[in-house]
Structure 1
Amino acid sequence: MISMRTLETLSGGEWVAGTTGEWIDVLDPSDVRAPVARVPALTPKDVTRAYDHAERGFAVWKRTSPFERARVLTEAARLIRARAGEIAADITAENGKTLTEARGETLKAADFLDYYAGLARQGYGTLLHDARPHTRTHTQREPIGVILVISPWNDPLITPARKLTPLLATGNAAVFKPATETPLAGLHFARALHEAGLPASVLNVVTGRTAEIEEALLDDPRIAGITFTGSNAVGNRIRRRLADRNVRFQGELGGKNASVVLRDADLAFAARTVAAASFGQAGQRCTATSRVIVEQPVYDEFVGLLVAEVGALKIGPGRDPATTLCPVSSRKQRDSVLADLVRAVEQGATVLTGGGADTEGERVHGCYVRPTVLAGITPEMAIWREEVFGPVLALRAVAGFDAAVEAVNDSGFGLAAAVFTRDLGNAYRFADEAECGQVAVNSTTTGWDVHLPFGGFRDSGTAYKEQGDEVLRFSTRVKTVAIDFGTPERTRG
């Protein structure tokens, strides 16, 4: 058991405990008997104060040299790398993922800071031809203002890094709401930026119970944009709330990601890769593979290999170096996954391996779900169509390539898909025909580097992408400037 700590949150450049003295416990999913930390439960008044600070911070930061912005981000990246062990331990404690996964998330967060530090130094506009004589016209990008950042519990550091870093690099200010269950990683990120010299009030962190502060959080008139990662239900509720306001909304929402295994694939490699994509972080990635579509001639062989891979996973707490399958993030999430499994079996699915909670030994105190592979799936079943967000994989056999692509696209979601094949023609056809924002060939559906645009189609997200320079469409606005410099005689006059 880890000793419990009390942490404050960052608002107006100071570390504060809020106005009420109320706290929220942070639990370790591997053993929920005692909290590992507590953070302030802020009130609506505290949230409004955070926006007051952000408004002032924006007035300073938008006029700050991009070279100074880059310096702050670079120093924050250095601090995060220097503290990688401490930060990874806290991610594991609050989220449950393995230390290897947590350390990878920590270092990737530092990569985001370095990448956007470099991007901050680049040109920010374009010189355009103008039909008028003696006229030079250009565009320039400007920050949009105060942006609300709402991040999820499954990637408590990399998602804030993905969202906050580009908006800070381009001169915006932020109010940041980390997930109630996993605030520690976000506070680490804020501390690194604060200690790197980010001016007071540019970044303000709101810890609290969303239901108690939702109105103050979402309805403040100073919000220029909201970037959100989470469920479709919450994302759509935010979108409706913003419908009559001139507020940008960037949403990275649900997924039901499919991997296709064609008859010519390296089946052993495909089984290992699919298992990693499905059960890493206990399946709690928005890009995790949750559906597998296999050509009929190789279905039985592939399933045998996959079940063997899944059976070799070692369930345990994330802090144990031997663990390869961590607990899910909370009792609530565990119960949701188990309910989905019960419904799948009731609708006719067959459990090939796993199924149910794992309560063996000390795991009885945690949030463990056995890694589960389901067969006998039909397209009408909820397990095939709805996001589970846990260590659950559903299998279907199809007749050939065309049927496989049809099955991939037969979804309301469109985040990620993969195909395993040795046929280059099929690889390119799949890339063209899969209606997803990310397509992989002979690779996992998960894992995209910081400079690669990220985001889904359909119900998986909004038109504003994350990552790379594509995110600048969300965090900046374009101004067109025309200057008539006249003839030399007019200029001298």
Structure 2
Amino acid sequence: MRTLETLSGGEWVTTGEWIDVHDPADVRAPIARIPALSAKDVTRAYDHAERAFAVWKRTSPFERARIFTDAARLIRERVDEIAADVTAENGKTLGEATGETLKAADFLEYYAGLARQGYGTLLHDVRPNHRTHTQREPIGVILVISPWNDPLITPARKLAPLLAAGNAAVFKPATETPVSGLHFARALHDAGLPAGVLNVITGRTSEIEEALLDDPRITGITFTGSNAVGNRIRRRLADRNVRFQGELGGKNASVVLADADLPAAAKAVVAASFGQAGQRCTATSRVIVERPVYDEFARLLLAEVETLTVGPGSDPATTLCPLSSPRQRDSVLTDIDKAIEEGATLFTGGTADSDRPHGCYVRPTVLADVTPDMAIWREEVFGPVLALRAVDDFTAAVDAVNDSDFGLAAAVFTRDLGSAHRFADEVECGQVAVNTTTTGWDVHLPFGGFRDSGTAYKEQGDEVLRFSTRVKTVAVHFGEAARG
């Protein structure tokens, strides 16, 4: 078991109090331990960030770009080590972990390039002899709270743009999966990020929540996680001038129309539903099929599910990894049992893996005869569980997609271009896919959901800068002598 340090004020520190990190493939022995910081340690981190922001916001964007480019190079050089740790603490396959590691480097490279671009707009002014422009400025110290399901790519998605824009950050990785985020911080530190610009808080949220959320120097909070926690943070910020960016829950649907390429649709749905054991915010968890092809699609879908190999993420043969923790495994199994009690038909799966009793495994599960009033249709499960439902036509399919509190991602499978465009126009989701998976959005594509899936601030692309920068308008009167 390794003992790790965390980054605060440009120093790698410990406290003497520790939290164990476990591998969900076998939870009997911890794989690492991290410092359990105290409330005083959190306040010191904000002290560091406040001082660093005063320097970092005036640092040349070209220097910021250099640091990001060097950090991306370090991540690529360390890809095997980092991916192994992502797998060890989260459970996902080595292939998934490697992809996540390389995508983290992509985020740094993309925002290194964006740091070099213009930062404002020249505007016409009705007044003679005036030149007016806008300029974007960083907002200050931002708290970043990331989840356990994508422990490296989510910190990269959040930290890269806000740091590139000149903000400082206090970063709280998930307690279950902190090692990945520490790799990201180390790459930036080793690339020359000034002390205090990024500070990593490892610890038990219950012991440091007040210090973490209530510091008066916070100008923004970006959070990915459950609606319950996200809404609690929003309420806590209600009377403070603090921006909140939330990427919250989802209950994503894929629609299979009667004219679809059914084998291709079945492959795509299985990839979208069971990759990372369904622990993606964009994972497909509902499938809506036009009735004439329902039986044939279900047959093809089950055949694809049967090809999945359940096992530890470190095994190259594994295509369905364990869930992240015993608590998550037990929650998913409870949701499956409730669906069956409410009348759903179990086509396959529905159980833990009896061959691996010390791991957090749930076999890939498909439920049929699901109705809109069932909890399995309406509530996020966040596991390898797929609910099937037949509908009569296109209109009923769109209605079924939109009959949800969430609105993150949806997909349609069809050969008809008109149906594809109509679907994109009518579904109430932030991300729409046609003949491809609901998952897999690239770094330069704006990302975020509607309704209860998140706040109005998007992530990724240049849209994210609306959250981490403020706009200042400047008018210059250059006088009569300057004309001509």
Give me the TM-score of the superposition, normalised by structure 1: 0.98
The letter for the 1-side match of 2:384 is: P
The letter for the 2-side match of 1:309 is: E
The counterpart of 1:367, out of the listed 346, 360, 371, is: 360
The counterpart of 2:436, out of the listed 443, 454, 457, is: 443
The letter for the 2-side match of 1:397 is: A
The counterpart of 1:12, out of the listed 9, 12, 21, is: 9
Q: Spell out, residue by residue over 1:324-353, the C-alpha distance to the aligned partner (whole angstroms, 9 max, x if none).
A: 000000000001101101111110111000
Structure 2 equivalent of residue 385 of structure 1: 378
Aligned to 1:432, the other structure's residue is in SS state helix
Distance in structure 2 (CA, Å) of the matches to 1:229 and 1:462: 11
Deviation at 1:434, TM superposition (A): 0.8
Q: Spell out, residue by residue over 1:441-464, the C-alpha distance to the aligned partner (whole angstroms, 9 max, x if none).
A: 000000100000000000000000
Matched, 1:24 2:19: yes
Deviation at 1:487, TM superposition (A): 1.2
Structure 2 equivalent of residue 479 of structure 1: 472
The counterpart of 2:412, out of the listed 400, 413, 419, is: 419
The letter for the 1-side match of 2:424 is: A
The counterpart of 2:235, out of the listed 227, 235, 240, is: 240
Deviation at 1:359, TM superposition (A): 1.9
Distance in structure 2 (CA, Å) of the matches to 1:169 and 1:312: 43
Matched, 1:459 2:452: yes
The letter for the 1-side match of 2:37 is: L
Q: Spell out, residue by residue over 1:84-139, the C-alpha distance to the aligned partner (whole angstroms, 9 max, x if none).
A: 00000000000000000000000000000000000000000001111111111000
Flag the 1:290–1:490 CA change in 2: closer, same or farther, 3 A: closer
Deviation at 1:312, TM superposition (A): 1.2
Structure 1 equivalent of residue 298 of structure 2: 303
Aligned to 1:280, the other structure's residue is in SS state helix
Contact 2:53–2:167 (8 Å) recurs in 1: yes
The counterpart of 1:141, out of the listed 118, 136, 139, is: 136
Deviation at 1:489, TM superposition (A): 7.6
1:101-180 matches, within 5 Å, as 101-180=96-175
Q: CA RMSD in A?
A: 0.9
Distance in structure 1 (CA, Å) of the matches to 2:482 and 2:4: 67
- Count of residues in Structure 1 that have an aligned counterpart in Structure 2: 484
Structure 2 equivalent of residue 225 of structure 1: 220
The counterpart of 2:55, out of the listed 56, 60, 66, is: 60
Contact 1:413–1:459 (8 Å) recurs in 2: yes
Q: Spell out, residue by residue over 1:60-106, the C-alpha distance to the aligned partner (whole angstroms, 9 max, x if none).
A: 10000000000000000000000000000000000000000000000
Q: Spell out, residue by residue over 1:46-65, the C-alpha distance to the aligned partner (whole angstroms, 9 max, x if none).
A: 00000000001101100000
Q: Spell out, residue by residue over 1:232-288, the C-alpha distance to the aligned partner (whole angstroms, 9 max, x if none).
A: 000000000000000000000000000000000010110011000000000000000
Matched, 1:44 2:39: yes
Aligned to 1:364, the other structure's residue is in SS state coil
**Runs of 4+ displaced beyond 6 Å:** none
The letter for the 2-side match of 1:37 is: A
Aligned to 2:357, the other structure's residue is in SS state helix
Distance in structure 1 (CA, Å) of the matches to 2:351 and 2:18: 33
Distance in structure 2 (CA, Å) of the matches to 1:76 and 1:152: 22
Distance in structure 2 (CA, Å) of the matches to 1:323 and 1:22: 36
Distance in structure 2 (CA, Å) of the matches to 1:170 and 1:434: 33
The counterpart of 2:318, out of the listed 310, 320, 323, is: 323
The letter for the 1-side match of 2:192 is: G
Contact 1:278–1:288 (8 Å) recurs in 2: yes
Aligned to 1:446, the other structure's residue is in SS state coil
Between the aligned residues of both structures, percent identity stands at 84
Q: Spell out, residue by residue over 1:12-50, the C-alpha distance to the aligned partner (whole angstroms, 9 max, x if none).
A: 0000003xx110000000000000000000010000000
Aligned to 1:148, the other structure's residue is in SS state strand
Contact 2:129–2:483 (8 Å) recurs in 1: no
Contact 1:88–1:106 (8 Å) recurs in 2: yes
Distance in structure 2 (CA, Å) of the matches to 1:313 and 1:38: 32
Deviation at 1:311, TM superposition (A): 1.2
Distance in structure 2 (CA, Å) of the matches to 1:432 and 1:488: 54
Give me the TM-score of the superposition, normalised by structure 2: 0.99
Contact 2:288–2:389 (8 Å) recurs in 1: yes
Distance in structure 2 (CA, Å) of the matches to 1:390 and 1:180: 19
